[in-house]
Chain A
């Protein structure tokens, strides 16, 4: 008989290199009946089952483990669940009291050296790109003769929003590197990793920050679309209109002046037209052409 299984995805809110906290989170999920099956950069996949007390260990291996290594791990009670790049995740029932995978913290710190170097280059690169990006943004803003006006328009507003998103990307890369460095230092000082680290509050904080920035990133796509949807284009009536603007005809009061009509497109006189616009900073905008 084939058993049906239910899987759920959970957002990887925490830094992947906060190893102890992620292990503790997987155990917390298993206690609620969600057992880890696979893991990606953004989501972790859990399978619904019976609640169990399970220990998880994330081992960093710079080369893929061979069959003998995995057999030995199993002999010690640690079964491979899944892996992502150099992170191999093993599980063991909590009551099995199996020996620890790592018995020498100082030695374990050496397993983080390659990834430490890799993340360090990432941080250098992202900081360098961030500086270039900041420079570009500053130039765009400072060379603009009407910077405040440009902020009223969607295209101008996208610059600070993009900057905000870029800042978040840099922040998350640096935060992840700091987590790894902290772990490496703890281990190299001979202190074992805390596999039961509290995960609820940090996940909530990091998750809230992530969601906020994902929504902000979404804004850069949403704003131009919303602007196009809100845009209206129609011919300007010759005399009376209920537009909240003062027209030249009302100031000059020159009956001898005649209106020049221009090319028409979709019934709109292009030389005498009203275009309504929208942006978050100026929700009501009018662009009026009158000849």
Chain B
């Protein structure tokens, strides 16, 4: 999928931001935001925690808004983002009792009230630096976000796309990073680099899928 035409265009756009427009590649967002050198930035909303605690001198002078996007054919803005997340996993065993208990435990842990309670208690102990980034959308509404911030978060969450994890998925991120760095460092052609690395990624995924006897399609 990376080596489709859309993928190549997206990759070209991304690397041209660094190569043609000279955006800094390595930077510490919090420090530069505080000093005013970067008045606007794209970051995950957990940076809110860091900024609210480590930058008290700019309190109430900054806020966050939905992601900038590209204009689609019908005029609306497509600002979908991807998100990462943490999962809970149950390992299958033969013991029915253990299975039921672990399922009940997981149901309890991800339920709204538990998440809200956890988020509120951790924020009351550690302050607003520990605002819990919960995945439970109902619980998010009940945490200590203000009305405007909540509207922004909900609007962005509606447009969020998650990536499916597959066997060998680590290979995608790893080689994409390699591809990006190669284009930035050596100023090579974006399309060629992407297609070369796409082949490497596909090979590793194939090896892993064969190991676990998952179906391969060419």
Partners in one complex: no
- Chain A contact residues, CB within 8 Å of chain B: none
